[in-house]
Amino acid sequence: MSKLRYLLTVILLLPIAQGVMAQSGSKFRVVGYIRNQRRVATTIRNFDLDKVTHLNIAFVNPDSAGNLPVTPGLKEITAIAHQKGVKVLLSIGGGTPRKSLPGCIYGDKQDEFIARLTKLTVDYDVDGIDVDLEGGLIDKNYEGFVVKLATALKAKKKMITAAIATVYADKYTDKALAQFDFINVMCYDKTGPWNPDRPGQHAPYDMAADDMAYWNNKRGIAKQRLTLGVPFYGYGFGANAPESMAYQQIIDQYPGAEKLDEVNVAGGGVIYYNGAITIKAKTKLALKTAGGVMIWQLLQDAKGDQSLLGLINRTIREAVK
């Protein structure tokens, strides 16, 4: 084959190759957490799964006997998601997990717990486990647990991901982080109701930018493995402000709030959140510095044209035109 003909062949096939790459794993992620509630199956049937790539059901934590609660309709949820090409993961941990969790992940029940988690993914055709351990649960035992869980899951060709917070950065070892298929960075909760003396924005744009720079540049994690987390909720400070409020509730009660990042509460107080302008800016930031966007949590979103998930989807599509 002549050099000219070879070059022409490469040029003609390049768009096809790029399309294959996009379909084989380089697709920009949209990871949506959803609360593990009895109405999840009903919600999913009416949910536009075309706008997410991964659905994380939170939380699947053990009871005092080590048994794992099965989300009602889990097989149906997984089947519906898979029809749309969406992967389903079960998330463990959370900010306020059951008291029985520490003994299962770090105590003498660890091996049994890992076996049960792995079996759950197989029995219900779930794609993997998401590890969202926070606070005191990120200690010297974290790495060992993650390595064991990753080994068990990967033997069954299942995924393992994590939700992490930069505030605990020094506690995550490089070996632990290397186990995850990708990492969801919780770029929110800088402050909140637990810290009433520090009112203000709990998820500012600068926090997201700093978080991505830290994990990519200082910790050497490839941007494709990082997912930038955004909140679909706000926190209130002041005498008459609610502790927390879903985005849907905020824009319902405060006309025009979708264009802002804070609203004043009658009688004193402020609610801080991320409105449409900030969510769009963070999505653009993620397109440059990460491999996706993560959302806590989908059931707090607004409907119709005011949906933040819809805005994220449009922003991504505009970027790849």
Query: 218-273 pLDDT, tens per residue?
Result: 999 999 999 999 999 999 999 999 999 999 999 999 999 999 999 999 999 999 99
Per-residue pLDDT of 119-170, as tens digits, reads 999 999 999 999 999 999 999 999 999 999 999 999 999 999 999 999 999 9
DSSP string, 58-109: E-----TTSPPPPPTTHHHHHHHHHHTT-EEEEEEE-SS--TTHHHHHHSTT
pLDDT surpasses 90 at 317: yes
Identify which of 95, 268, 278, 270 has the alpha carbon closest to the alpha carbon of residue 199.
Answer: 270
DSSP 18-33: HHHHIIIIISPEEEEE
Domain 27-232+275-319: which topology?
A: TIM Barrel (3.20.20)
Tokens 């996706």 sit on residue: 292
Q: Which helix (H) or strand (E) holds 205?
A: helix 205-213
Is pLDDT above 70 for 17? no
**pLDDT for residue 12:** 38
Task: Single out the residue of 158, 148, 163, 160 nearest to residue 294, CA to CA.
Answer: 163
The rounded mean pLDDT for the chain is: 91
Q: Please, which pLDDT band fits residue 26 given cuts at 50, 70 and 90?
A: low
The confidence score (pLDDT) of residue 42 equals 82
pLDDT band for position 24 (cuts 50, 70, 90)? very low
The closest of 73, 107, 114 to 92, measured between CA atoms, is 114
Cα–Cα distance, 273 to 230 (Å, whole number): 10
